[in-house]
Amino acid sequence: MDFDVSSGKLEEQRTGCLVVGVYEGHKLSPAAAQLDAASGRAIQRVVLRGDLDGELGATLLLHDVPNVGSQRVLLVGLGPEADFRETSYRTALSAAMKALRTTGAVDATICLADLPVKGRDSAWKLEQAVLAVTEGVYRFDKLKSKPSPAKRALDKVVLHVAEAAQASTSAGAVHRAIAIAEGVALAKDLGNLPGNICTPAYLADQAREVGKRHGLRLQVLERDDVEELGMGGLLAVARGSCQPPKFIVMEYQGGAPDGQTVVLVGKGITFDAGGISIKPAPEMDEMKFDMCGAASVFGALRAAALMQLSLNVVGIIPATENMPGGNATRPGDVVTTMSGQTVEILDTDSEGRLVLCDALTYAERYRPAAVVDIATLTGEIVAALGDVASGVFSNSDPLAREILEAGDRAWDRAWQMPLWDEYQDALRSNFADFPNIGPGPDSAVTAACFLARFTGRYPWVHLDIAGTASKSGADKGATGRPVALLAHFLAARAETKNSAR
């Protein structure tokens, strides 16, 4: 997909489709008004007939508009002008892409980035437009014997802005958006693969491919290496599977050799049957998404490399299946983690924290300035935040604020949850240092408290993405979140480091 930014007279642009907005009350956006004037009020007449009332997300496709060079004009409803905010903008973009897919246009000019969105600048609007376009054209049909027939693919999009000065200064925003979009697409591809293909060994192979493409240093630790390091948590989860575990370490070295390092840790459970504490059968197929934390680390590293960030970033992925085999860990088993702390495993389906705790201990060797772990960890975070926001837990309020601000800039939002000492009281065991779950119904807070016991030597954030990493139902699939959040976080870290020199 090629992107460009332009300004100037819309009616003179030769393109497959021009996309313009209409507010409720038949009010045309500036771009629509410009076309309307050139066409002798043809657009206004259509709108006043009631063919499009401006309802948010509604669309109307016009052909051969008089005195307009474009083959088509797509009108998109923007809703009430007074209520037009970030969500309205993204809804309008998504609706435009859905309608564009039904046309035969191979190129289009989208005139929505010049709409005023309160509190958001041109760079934000351009980035969201690029991400909406790439989301709209994304397809995962590589495993179908006969992919669904489609019209000619949209392969070029021009983003129209009101002023020529904006067009000349927008290259950075578009480049960053394309880098993020590439990372999101990689994360979605990995997340959408089934467990019989996306095994721990497959993730290791993908790490080698990404490393070769983007110049990353790579280390893949095998079972013997993991045993030598004493990673009892990871080994306990892997015992029930015939697939050998892999401990994947990818290093992007964009900063000075002695510069600060940010570590991203992604949960890589390539399929989660629950182990002996087996999950219910309904929707168990969606447990292939349990490695979306790992996928987001892949995506964030790709975005960092494409943005050429002046920062050192390490991605750590403990990868395994969680299966109920004959050698599987039993409820009540006690294991010793890499940190030396012992854990009584009361629920084998609370396995994500077991693989993460060893990875968080391993991260200490990098003397990290910050560590962020990303995991589809608990269903309880879905009950708390739904599919809108990822949950944030942290032992550092300044780092948590960085993550929250990055999520806001990316519109990949997150919400901070409490991690008070009082919650640690739930983790008590008569037979080990502590159990992997608390009494009664486990919670997202308890899971974060467990992880916090392995993070005392660095600033740390835990992102619970169980509600945001994938969708169910008709739109079933990986979302690629929170790659955009992570990319903005890393970019801000790089900019802050450089400005402090």
Point out the residues that are catalytic: 279, 353
The strand ranges marked E within 311-383 are 312-322, 333-336, 342-345, 370-375
Please answer whether residues 393 and 419 qualify as being in contact, where contact means their C-beta atoms are separated by less than 8 angstroms.
yes
DSSP 8-state symbol, 30: H
Closest CA to 31 of 113, 86, 88, 122: 113
Is the preceding peptide bond at 482 cis, omega within 30 degrees of 0?
yes
User: How many Å apart are CA 51 and CA 60, to the nearest integer?
Assistant: 8
Q: Looking up tokens 């400005």, which residue turns up?
A: 499
Q: Helix or strand or coil: residue 146?
A: coil
Cite the DSSP H helix spans in 215-328: 223-229, 232-238, 292-307
Classify residue 334 as exposed, middle or buried by CB count within 10 Å of its CB (0-12, 13-18, 19+): middle
Output the CA torsion sign for 294, 295, 298, 300: negative
User: How many Å apart are CA 452 and CA 439, to the nearest integer?
Assistant: 18
Q: Distance between terminal CA atoms of the chain?
A: 37
Bridge partners, 319 (sequence order): 246, 268
